[in-house]
Amino acid sequence: MNNDIKEILISKEELENKIKDLGKRITEDYKGKDLVLICVLKGAVMFMAELSKYIEVPLNMDFMAISSYGSSTKSSGVVKIIKDLDSSIEGKDVLIVEDIIDTGLTLNYLINNLKSRGVKSLKICTLLDKPDRRKVEVKVDYKGFTVPDEFVVGFGLDYNEKYRNLPHICVLKEEVYK
Ligand code: XMP
Ligand code: MG
């Protein structure tokens, strides 16, 4: 594999099995409901694509891109919407699909923003959870894996836009990002 990669943390097979389980649980919970999956670009693209194959209820997919306002304001959790949803989510059962929750600030902003649009329900599904660095508490409804406080890439997650295509979740060597 690549020189910048320290190790494989979660293999392709482990990812597949866990995502199947999550899909089954979501299928049970959303029977007869008007489900909208919201993918937070770009990191959650692979996760949502894979997850949606195992959700056996009719659903809509929508995409949102957000970015932090810059390092000085990042800790405040003020984020900028780069691409908003295509459709209204008023009255819908909405599931946010995220790649990783770190400080929780981004998701906290997103939850408040989407709630204000009059959703019927709003739940969170994240592939990875990095609880060590949490600054604001976020209630996670569906979680894949808890990861240690290391920089992870692969399966959609990037370092400087690279490594999203790796099929496993990998740990980046510290010297690469420090
Ligand atoms: P919060 O607001 O929870 O932001 O701190 C979560 C976002 O931060 C990025 N992030 C990572 N991206 N490897 C990545 O590729 C990581 O280990 C990592 N930790 C945080 C990511 O964009 C996530 O949506
Ligand atoms: Mg993200």
Q: Tell me if 176 is assigned to some domain.
A: no
Q: Tell me if 1 is assigned to some domain.
A: no
Ligand nearest to the CA of 104: 1
pTM: 0.94
Ligand nearest to the CA of 140: 1
Distance from residue 144's CA to the centre of ligand 2 (Å): 15
Q: Tell me if 167 is assigned to some domain.
A: no
Question: Which residue numbers are catalytic?
Answer: 102
Distance from residue 32's CA to the centre of ligand 1 (Å): 33
Complex prediction ipTM: 0.93
Q: Tell me if 154 is assigned to some domain.
A: no
Q: What is the pLDDT along the chain (178 residues), one digit of tens a residue?
A: 678 999 999 999 999 999 999 999 999 999 999 999 999 999 999 999 999 999 999 999 999 999 876 554 445 677 889 999 999 999 999 999 999 999 999 999 999 999 999 999 999 999 999 999 999 999 999 999 999 999 999 999 999 999 999 999 999 999 998 8
Token pair 């923003």 in the structure block, residue: 113
Q: Tell me if 3 is assigned to some domain.
A: no
Q: Give me the pLDDT at residue 74, please.
A: 46
Please state the atom number of ligand 1 nearest to the C-alpha of residue 108: 2
Distance from residue 126's CA to the centre of ligand 2 (Å): 10
C-alpha distances in angstroms, 70 versus 3, 33, 103, 161?
A: 29, 38, 15, 17
Domain total of the chain: 1
pLDDT in tens, 118-139: 999 999 999 999 999 999 999 9
Q: Tell me if 171 is assigned to some domain.
A: no
Which of 100, 126, 164 for a ligand 1 pocket mutation test, highest count of atoms within 8 Å of Cβ? Answer: 100
